[in-house]
């Protein structure tokens, strides 16, 4: 596995022109700072994003666009700008800029690069904490499932569940890129790392559980055609299905012991959902985030999107994801569908789904919106001249693990 990792890392950045480099620089700044616990409220992060974003804008301006592309760009920017003013949140604007600037970059190479940026971010977080650059604090966290308090860790003021989310992203991307070539030893190694990370650092039950389930699910689907077909059959039902389940549970909380048990298993998330839905309810076009920031933290992307960004945006977002999964079902793209589905499932316990910085599956959605071809076929003819390395990267293979396969299953 080590040799495969080295080969994938070395070739992920091969054949990169200067405009692509600006995009990857922006992506790296966003991913690293987010993993380190910074947000737009921190001047260092905000300044770095603005500075690098100016460079990344050159890729947007130099790209070639069809009429469809311009419509997609206009919609993405309009949505991002609207909510920047409406909800005082810049997440959607940054996501829009990342998706637009990622246009023309081969999706498999983009995801591989994201993987290595995230690995660097996590390791550097621990390294900087070890040498004292980042403060390491502890706090007492009440565990509803056991009724006891436990010690949790903060690194640079951020909860370590961010770290476990990063490990989840690395594991899922790695296995989906390796789909069809996964060895049992890789699965065992990732499960061991998942457990060690939980016991030694994060103490995130949601993180360790969902990471383990995801690792095992990808492996089972890669080895069982029946499981793969079942996954593809139900995939388009999940975006709105999960949203409906979380909304029903949120509204129904307090009506019986069953809901109380589910709430304990979710470490209070259903009770939080109930509060947000009852106090503010789903909005039509979103809420002012400044009204809600002092009320606590969302731990469920579906309720978060409905309350903060509104019903219209929720239907646009999850409708687009449904269309993407329907296409993946038609084309038999199990690995791509798994990547999208697993981030959807993880978003039940974290309010991270609309952010491409934390949710790289949105880059598959971006590729779909821009009408890009499958992962095995590279990019569409009208974008073929944009990035010199995109077509060449389709033929990259690892020397032993064949991390990148010319005949792949990802479809953008």
DSSP states of 294-347: GG-----HHHHIIIIIHHHHHHHHHHHHHHHHHHHHHHT-HHHHHHHHHHHHHT
State pLDDT tens for residues 212-251.
999 999 999 999 999 999 999 999 999 999 999 999 999 9
- pLDDT value of residue 29: 94
> What's the rounded Cα separation, in Å, for the pair 34 and 20?
21
Q: Is the Cα torsion angle 14, 20, 22, 26 positive or negative in sign?
A: negative
Provide φ and ψ at 273, rounded to 5°: -60, -45
CA distances for 353 relative to 198, 232, 260, 363, angstroms: 22, 21, 26, 12
Per residue in 252-283, pLDDT (tens digit) is 998 888 888 888 888 888 998 999 999 888 98
pLDDT of residue 136: 86
Pair 31, 120: CB distance under 8 Å: no
Cβ atoms of 122 and 166 within 8 Å: the answer is yes
> What is the per-residue pLDDT across 86-128, written as a single tens digit (0 to 9) for each?
877 889 999 999 999 999 899 999 999 999 999 999 999 999 9
DSSP 8-state secondary structure symbol assigned to residue 374? B
Helix (H) or strand (E) holding 233: helix 225-234
Q: How many CA atoms lie within 13 A of 242 on its CB side?
A: 25
Question: Where do the DSSP E strands lie in 51-197?
Answer: 136-143, 148-155, 158-159
- CA-based nearest residue to 87, from 328, 290, 284, 385: 290
CA distance 110 to 198: 28
Cβ-count burial 55-67 (b if 16+ within 10 Å, e if not) = bbeebbeebebee
Q: How confident is the model at residue 400 (pLDDT cuts 50, 70, 90)?
A: very low
Q: Which residue has the higher pLDDT, 354 or 19?
A: 354
- Do 239 and 340 contact (CB within 8 A), yes or no? no
User: Residue 143 — pLDDT band, cuts 50, 70, 90?
Assistant: low
Q: CA neighbours within 13 Å on the CB side: how many for 203?
A: 14
Q: Given this model, what pLDDT does residue 146 score?
A: 52
Q: Is 219 within 8 Å of 175 (Cβ atoms)?
A: yes
pTM strictly above 0.95 = no
Residue 380's pLDDT is 38
Q: Is the alpha carbon torsion for 307, 313, 319, 323 positive or negative?
A: negative
For residue 148, name the pLDDT band (cuts at 50, 70, 90): low
Residue 15 reports pLDDT greater than 60: no
pLDDT at 314: 97
| Residue 57: per-residue pLDDT | 86
Least confident of 148-157, 175-184, 191-200: 148-157
Confidence at residue 300, expressed as pLDDT on a 0 to 100 scale? 92
């Amino acid at each position: 596995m080590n040799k495969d990792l080295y080969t994938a890392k070395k070739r992920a950045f091969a054949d990169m022109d200067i405009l692509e480099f600006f995009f990857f620089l922006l992506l790296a700044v966003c991913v690293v700072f987010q993993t380190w616990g910074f947000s737009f409220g921190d001047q260092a992060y905000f300044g770095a994003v603005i500075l690098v974003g100016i460079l990344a804008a050159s890729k947007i301006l130099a790209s070639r666009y069809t009429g469809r592309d311009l419509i997609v760009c206009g919609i993405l920017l309009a949505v991002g700008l609207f909510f920047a003013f409406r909800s005082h949140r810049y997440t959607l604007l940054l996501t829009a800029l990342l998706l637009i600037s990622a246009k023309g970059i081969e999706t498999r190479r983009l995801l591989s690069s994201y993987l290595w940026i995230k690995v660097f971010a996590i390791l550097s977080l621990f390294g900087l904490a070890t040498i004292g650059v980042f403060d390491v604090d502890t706090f007492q966290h009440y565990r509803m499932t056991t009724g006891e308090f436990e010690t949790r860790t903060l690194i640079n003021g951020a909860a370590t569940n961010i770290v476990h989310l990063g490990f989840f992203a690395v594991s899922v991307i790695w296995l989906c890129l390796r789909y069809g070539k996964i060895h049992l030893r890789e699965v065992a190694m990732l499960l061991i790392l998942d457990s060690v990370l939980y016991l030694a650092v994060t103490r995130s039950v949601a993180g360790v559980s969902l990471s383990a389930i995801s690792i095992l699910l990808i492996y089972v689907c890669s080895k069982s055609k029946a499981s793969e077909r079942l996954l593809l059959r139900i995939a388009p039902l999940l975006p709105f299905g999960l949203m409906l389940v979380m909304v029903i549970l949120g509204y129904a909380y307090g009506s019986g012991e069953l809901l109380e048990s589910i709430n304990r298993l979710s470490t209070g998330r259903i009770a939080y959902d109930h509060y947000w839905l009852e106090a503010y309810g789903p909005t039509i076009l979103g809420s002012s985030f400044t009204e809600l920031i002092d009320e606590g933290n969302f731990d469920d992307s579906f309720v978060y999107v409905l309350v903060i960004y509104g019903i219209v945006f929720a239907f646009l977002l999850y409708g687009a994801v449904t269309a993407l999964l329907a296409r993946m079902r038609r084309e038999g793209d199990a690995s791509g569908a798994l990547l999208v589905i697993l981030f959807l499932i993880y978003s039940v316990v974290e309010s991270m789904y609309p952010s491409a910085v934390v949710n790289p599956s949105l880059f598959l959605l971006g590729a779909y919106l821009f009408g890009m071809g499958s992962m095995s076929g590279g990019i569409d003819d009208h974008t073929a001249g944009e990035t010199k390395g995109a077509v060449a990267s389709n033929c990259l293979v690892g020397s032993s693990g064949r991390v990148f396969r010319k005949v792949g299953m990802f479809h953008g």
